[in-house]
Amino acid sequence: MTRNIRLTLAAVVALILVTVGVLALNRPDAIPSVETTGGTVEPTVLVREDSHRLTSAPDGKITLVEFLDFECEACGAVYPTVKEILANYEGQITFVVRYFPISSHPNAELAARTAEAAANQDRFAEMYQLLFENQDVWGHQEEPQTEVFLDYARTLGLDIDRFQRDLNDPATAARVAKDRTDGEAVGVQGTPTFFLNGEPLSDLHKDDLVTMIDTALAG
What's the confidence (pLDDT) of residue 39? 62
Strand partners, 97: 52, 66
CA distance 194 to 19: 15
pLDDT in tens, 86-132: 999 999 999 999 999 999 999 999 999 999 999 999 999 999 999 99
Query: Is residue 25 predicted with pLDDT exceeding 50?
Result: no
Of 149, 147, 77, 135, the residue nearest 105 (C-alpha)? 135
The SS3 assignment for 117 reads: helix
Q: Span 20-218: which CATH code?
A: 3.40.30.10
- Quick: pLDDT tens for 192-202: 999 999 998 86
